[in-house]
């Protein structure tokens, strides 16, 4: 193993150790000495890889996002119509967060300017590249959707509107459900979760109808795509755990 490979392996070990700790405590409570202990390295070794605690947090968020990009690639490799691929990719994003609430909270914190402004520039650049990859993948398939199902609307502005609206509905649903406010305070058991999922998919169907794209996708079709997305996400999580 080369020196560079050893360095990359050590950095990965530090990140995985940190992610393990963040399953049990918040980032604010995390001590770098705890990271050194779980990663079985010195404090000096940690600071040779990460310039600050915030830099380490962004490194963890970057690791999570890279795995999410892998899931999106797998979703877009599934042979199906463009709209089904777009929905599968969108569902993968929301299920990815649902299955890993601690990682979702970590990513949200990593996006806070007071965090990423204290991270290293190369880590910031790497994070921007991963976000651009996700945007490119989703926008590209959204373009194919409009070209296939609604050619008259296949412009760059409409493509952005289509996929940003779909993502906004999905993240809004997840954030409201996670908050426990309003209607979602009653979701405490299996049937409640199923009811929430049904409400989300109905919202997606209504949104697509506004674009003239819902005629061929029944609610049962959306539930089937959601289950397929769940399988893809769980398989990736299993590989990385």
Q: Are residues 24 and 134 in the same domain?
A: no
Share of the chain above pLDDT 90, in %: 50
In a shared domain, residues 39 and 93: no
Note whether 162 and 82 are within 8 A (CB): no
Cβ proximity of 188 and 215 under 8 Å: no
Q: Which of 67, 79, 71 is nearest to 138 (CA)?
A: 71
The angle subtended at Cα 66 by Cα 76 and Cα 92, nearest 5°, is 40
Same domain for 187 and 96: yes
Same domain for 127 and 41: no
Tell me the C-alpha distance between 63 and 12, whole Å. Answer: 9
* Sign of the four-CA dihedral 178, 210, 225, 198: positive
Q: Which domain holds residue 159?
A: 69-100+121-240
> Do both 130 and 221 map to the same domain?
yes
Question: Do residues 142 and 159 make contact, with C-beta atoms less than 8 angstroms apart?
Answer: yes
Number of compact structural domains in the chain: 2
User: Which pLDDT band, with edges at 50, 70 and 90, does 31 fall under?
Assistant: very high
Start-to-end Cα distance in the chain:
24
pLDDT at 148: 86
Pair 74, 176 in one domain: yes
Residue 55 within a domain:
no
Q: Same domain for 3 and 96?
A: no
Which tokens is 3 given?
A: 């020196």
CATH code for the domain of 7: 1.10.10
Asked if 89 and 186 sit in the same domain, the reply is yes
Q: Does pTM surpass 0.95?
A: no
- Whether residue 28 is found in the same domain as residue 125: no
Contact between 77 and 105 (Cβ < 8 Å): no
Alpha-helix runs per DSSP H in 52-120: 53-77, 82-99, 101-110, 113-116
pLDDT above 60 for 191: no
Does residue 172 sit in the same domain as residue 226?
Answer: yes
Residue 78 is given by DSSP the state S
Q: Work out the pLDDT band at 190, boundaries 50, 70, 90.
A: very low
pLDDT of residue 182: 56
Q: Within this chain, do residues 90 and 150 fall inside the same structural domain, yes or no?
A: yes
Instruction: Note whether 14 and 82 are same-domain residues.
Output: no
What value does the mean pLDDT take over residues 1-23?
Answer: 90
- pLDDT band at residue 56, thresholds of 50, 70 and 90? very high
Express each pLDDT in 62-120 by its tens digit: 999 999 999 999 998 888 899 999 999 999 988 998 888 888 888 888 888 988 899 99
Q: Are 144 and 162 in contact (CB under 8 A)?
A: no
């Amino acid at each position: 193993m080369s020196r560079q490979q050893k360095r990359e392996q050590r950095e990965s070990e530090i990140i995985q150790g940190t992610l393990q700790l963040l399953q049990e405590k918040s980032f604010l409570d995390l001590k770098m000495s705890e990271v050194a202990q779980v990663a079985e390295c010195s404090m000096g070794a940690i600071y040779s890889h990460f310039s600050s605690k915030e830099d380490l947090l962004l490194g963890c968020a970057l690791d999570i996002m890279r795995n999410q990009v892998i899931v999106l690639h797998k979703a877009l490799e599934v042979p199906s119509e463009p709209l089904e691929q777009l929905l599968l990719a969108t569902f993968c994003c929301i299920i990815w967060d649902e299955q890993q609430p601690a990682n979702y909270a970590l990513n949200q914190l990593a996006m806070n300017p007071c965090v990423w402004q204290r991270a290293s520039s190369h880590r910031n650049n790497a994070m921007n590249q991963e976000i651009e990859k996700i945007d490119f993948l989703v926008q590209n398939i959204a373009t194919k959707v409009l070209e296939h199902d609604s050619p008259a609307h296949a412009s760059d502005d409409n493509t952005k509107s289509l996929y940003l609206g779909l993502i906004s509905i999905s993240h809004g649903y997840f954030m409201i459900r996670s908050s426990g406010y309003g209607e979602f305070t009653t979701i405490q058991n299996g049937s409640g979760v199923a009811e929430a999922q049904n409400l989300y998919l109905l919202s997606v169907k209504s949104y697509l109808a506004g674009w003239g794209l819902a005629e061929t996708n029944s609610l049962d079709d959306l539930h089937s795509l959601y289950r397929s997305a769940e399988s893809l996400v769980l398989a990736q999580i299993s590989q990385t755990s």
